[in-house]
A = this chain, B = another copy of it.
Amino acid sequence: MKAKFILIGILFFSILTNAQNYKQDSVTLKQMSNRILADYDCYKDLNYLCKQIGNRISGSEQATKAVEWGKKTLESTGCTNVFLQEVFVPHWIRGKEEASITTKNGNRISLKISSLGNAVGTGENGLQAPVLKVNNMDELKRMNAKDVKGKIVFFNFKFDQLNINTFDSYGPCVYYRWASPSEASKLGAVGVIIRSVSSAFDDKPHTGSLHYDDKYPAIPAVAISNLAADDLEKMIEQKHIKNLFIKTTCKMLADVKSHNVVAEIKGSELPNEIIVFGGHLDSWDIGEGAHDDGAGVVQTIEVIRTFIKLGIRPKRTIRAVLFMNEENGLRGGTKYAELAEKNNEKHIVGIESDAGGATPFGFSMTMPMEQRNKIKSWSNLFLPYNIHDFDREGGGADISPLKKKFGTPVMELMPDSQRYFDMHHSDNDVFENVHRRELCLGAFGMSAMVYMISQYGL
């Protein structure tokens, strides 16, 4: 009988505590959201990063400036533990770009191109060859080498407009950006043109990393816009084209010393349990890297700033990382995981913001169901902020080495994806295309999730 009373007592106490926690957490989250929306410091930071530093590909002078700025900005929040992690990064430069179509009746039509990241160039003399269109990889693989040899292969694989989450369309297209140069080279092609990995019907080409398979010659590879691809497709089908000319002088230089920028607030109760969160400081060398991943960078900084502004001392250690070289090497993320191993650190979760600065809808995650359910049990706290989706699989690139090495649970902020791939890796990705309130709500989402995990663990 006594045991029963004790049990009821414990149950009652636990319900009471949970209710009190819920109320207190809901107040804390509202304070976070108020502070971030009222001050919108992350938006001001993004303005500086985009307009005063600009795009910042690994190895560039701007990337160095971005590291200095990141450190200074994190220090300006009042965080007393800001440091750099040295990492050597690839240094790819774009050089000159020029392309044109020569029609059968002798006209020359210029074509706006963007070399794929890490691609080899054609050299100053350029490359002239007939074009071969394939709509997908199967079509290429069914071909005889003699029909491909000496040609520029145009991969006309289209972004699927029917998916609701545009990341579902991104994946299949990225395969073409990543793998098509070597697949074409395998059959003797001399160059590759891809339809940009983009949801926009406009004239902007989108860059992004390719991968060369060492077994085949590395051949030049460029992207053209969706509108240009539509035109090219039509001209090829109407057999109007004599050949294509491409000149690119991009090349890979020697590795360059760079840094991850790290800022930490030690946990008051469980300092050895680390919650790491971040975005990547490098960007492509066109546009301003505003959504990709300026947004993630300034949101990461904003988490630290918000904890400090509100005087929140986390129970577990929270650590912000501005990763270097996500775009064309993942050296920063890899180095971070190596150091974590070396220092014998225990990461309880990795959280990334690298899907743009639009209104947050939820978090994708890769972790055991029990941990996902723990996060889902907080969903009522997030619902007032429209953060409602905790069901998708996902996680960021920079934190994937942690996942791989230690099986660390990973998550990624999931913003509305409708506009992202209009801008991603292109000249469209500029500060003006990020909305103040949307960016702030994403910063809130990151802050709130870091807070909840710092309080309750995973």
Contact = CB atoms under 8 A, between A and B. Distances in A.
Interface string A346-369: 000000000000010100000000
Given A199-B437, A437-B199, A164 B419 contact: no
B389 A418 contact: no
A416 interface: yes
Interface stretch (A30-38, A80-88, A118-126, A283-291): A30-38
Interface in A146-181: 161-162, 164, 166
A411 interface: no
A388 interface: yes
B438 A419 contact: yes
Q: How large is the interface on A (under 10, 10 to 19, 20 to 34, 35 or more residues)?
A: 20 to 34
Output the residue of A164, A201, A359, A422 with the most chain B CB within 10 A: A164
A435 interface: yes
Contacts of A386: 164, 361, 389, 416
Output the residue of A34, A166, A416, A438 with the most chain B CB within 10 A: A416
A438 B441 CA distance: 19
Interface string A373-396: 000000000001110110000000
Contacts of A385: 164
A199 B164 CA distance: 28
Interface in A321-368: 359, 361
A33 B441 contact: no
Nearest to A438: B418
A441 B164 contact: yes
Contact of A437 (B161, B359, B435, B436): B161
Copies of this subunit:
2
Given A389-B386, A437-B199, A161 B37 contact: yes
Contact of A418 (B161, B384, B437): B437
A385 B166 CA distance: 12
A422 B436 CA distance: 11
B161 A359 contact: no
A417 to B, nearest CB: 9
Contact of A34 (B37, B162, B388): B162
Contacts of A37: 161-162
A164 B438 contact: no
A422 B361 CA distance: 21
A416 B199 contact: no
A415 to B, nearest CB: 10
A267 B433 CA distance: 44
Contacts of A437: 161, 166, 199, 418-419
Q: Which 3 A-B pairs have the closest CB atoms?
A: A418-B437, A418-B438, A388-B388
Interface of A: 33-34, 37-38, 161-162, 164, 166, 199, 201, 359, 361, 384-386, 388-389, 416, 418-419, 422, 435-438, 441
10 contacts: A34-B162, A38-B161, A164-B384, A164-B441, A166-B437, A199-B437, A418-B435, A418-B438, A419-B435, A419-B437
